[in-house]
Structure 1
Amino acid sequence: MTAPTPASARAPAEAVAAALEDVAALGGFFTLAVGGPGQGWHPVTDAYARGFTDLAEAVADRYDTREARIGVSIAQLGHAARLWSPVLACTLLHGIVPDLAGLHRADDGPALWLPALTGWYADRIPHLTEALYELVVEQHLNALAAGLRVKISPRLLDGNTASALAGTAQVLLPARPALRGPLTELTTGLLATGRLAGTGHFTGPDLTFRRRSCCLFYRTPTGTKCGDCCLAR
């Protein structure tokens, strides 16, 4: 993170590894591969510079659409979920914020890998909400958006980012109901920060979400409107 963070906030590699290993049990989007050889992975920054073209094309093929922006939108939404999920879960369940610098992506898919394990103790980070926003949105999702080769609405992408965050919270709530208070507070704070402000809002205590944009999935031949879509009734 670029914001000033005390050296004492740094967490040891073993604490970061334990947190990531535990939250991976929540599902695939919460999984970050760690350590080991680097074959089969490439820096995610390279994928951003190429506009995530390979994943966007794979999505378009999977859903049998020739509308390139649909593939881009769904690929970006999935990547946002793979970033928010381990970060939010580790922060709330273990008080550890994993460092996503040096993040890699699989050569043949969306999976993510960290070659080195570093992170911070969440309670020692000044302005935690802003720090998490910087970690996920500014360092990663803004870079992805900047590299896109397809014209797509920035607010659509912002809505995807918010939807992925809300979806993460909706998985965490039933898995750890005792965290309802801090989970709701942190997620609501993130949804009011930077580019996420005005993208949508929670509509109930179970953290159901209504966004103000659409990911375009309904435009695929077999697609439907998502539960949080602004077009859903």
Structure 2
Amino acid sequence: MHRARASAASVTAALRDVAGLGGFFALRTGGRDHGWHPVARSYAEGFSDLAEAVARRHRTGEPRVDVSIAQLGHAARLWSPALACVVLHGIVLDLDGLQRADDGPALRLPRPAGLHVDRLDDGPAHALYQQVTRHLSALADGLRVKVAPRLLDGNSASALAGAAQALLGHRPAARGPLTDLTTTLLDTGRLAGTGTLTGPDLTFRRLSCCLYYRAPDGSKCGDCGLADRARGRAPR
């Protein structure tokens, strides 16, 4: 697989480009190590600090709601830059060594690396799925609060579809490859059966619910399996 490796410079340039699409697309690279820790440590701790931050922000009384919202936000921060780098730059990010900010949900790759899509034997969907979902699986394994596995899978699918919609809005010329890749991903592994794309603008309807509506000021998201109609998305 050595021949498939993208240079650190090309990965850094791709990430710099996609970061301009919005906050969830930002994945920092390089810089000082101070203020960052391996995201694996956060997984082992059940993302407890971010779940507690959700509880304070939304005044929730159910730990599973806090965990679900924190996991949904993390899924969005994984899928957004990873999807955009494949579609816009032909690079599957290598998320080994991923780090998280000590004081929040921001993510960082201290050593940017990736694989060129056109040199992968099994295509970009499989490689991208593996890179992102192994992080979400590690997070799920470390949770200290019981949350339905298919709810977490639905959050992952919702984050993917949300990233695809946002990317389409910014780069409409990428509609064809973006739609193909998103459709394939939503039919892959644990994402299969979580919901369906419902329109050419990549709107999505999931079969589960992230539980945001259970917060005091919460509501059902636009793609919620419990919603009769779109009412806006939960903050991530």
User: Which TM-score bucket, shorter chain as reference?
Assistant: over 0.9
What secondary structure is seen at the aligned counterpart in 1 of 2:100?
Answer: strand
**Does 2:127 match 1:150?**
no
Aligned equivalent of 1:173: 168
Alignment of 1:187-206 (within 5 A): 187-206=182-201
Contact 2:92 2:127 in 1 (8 A): no
- CA distance in 1: counterparts of 2:41 and 2:10, whole angstroms: 29
Q: Which of 39, 54, 57 is 1:59 aligned to? A: 54
Aligned equivalent of 1:232: 227
**Does 2:12 match 1:31?**
no
**Does 2:81 match 1:68?**
no
- CA distance in 2: counterparts of 1:78 and 1:65, whole angstroms: 16
The letter of the residue matching 2:114 is: G
- CA distance in 2: counterparts of 1:166 and 1:123, whole angstroms: 24
Alignment of 1:100-179 (within 5 A): 100-127=95-122, 128-137=124-133, 139-179=134-174
Q: How many residues align?
A: 227
Post-superposition CA distance 1:37-89 (Å, at most 9, x none): 11011000000000000001110110001100001000000000000011000
What secondary structure is seen at the aligned counterpart in 2 of 1:26?
Answer: coil
Aligned equivalent of 2:233: none
Post-superposition CA distance 1:118-160 (Å, at most 9, x none): 11111111222111111000x2000000000000100000000
User: So what's the TM-score if we normalise by structure 1?
Assistant: 0.96
The letter of the residue matching 1:126 is: D
Contact 2:95 2:131 in 1 (8 A): yes
Contact 2:90 2:116 in 1 (8 A): yes
The letter of the residue matching 2:71 is: Q
Post-superposition CA distance 1:142-197 (Å, at most 9, x none): 00000000001000000000000000000011211111111011001000001000
Post-superposition CA distance 1:101-132 (Å, at most 9, x none): 00000011000011101111111112221111
RMSD over aligned CA atoms reads: 0.7
Aligned equivalent of 1:11: 6
- CA distance in 2: counterparts of 1:215 and 1:136, whole angstroms: 19
**Does 2:207 match 1:212?**
yes
- CA distance in 1: counterparts of 2:118 and 2:73, whole angstroms: 28
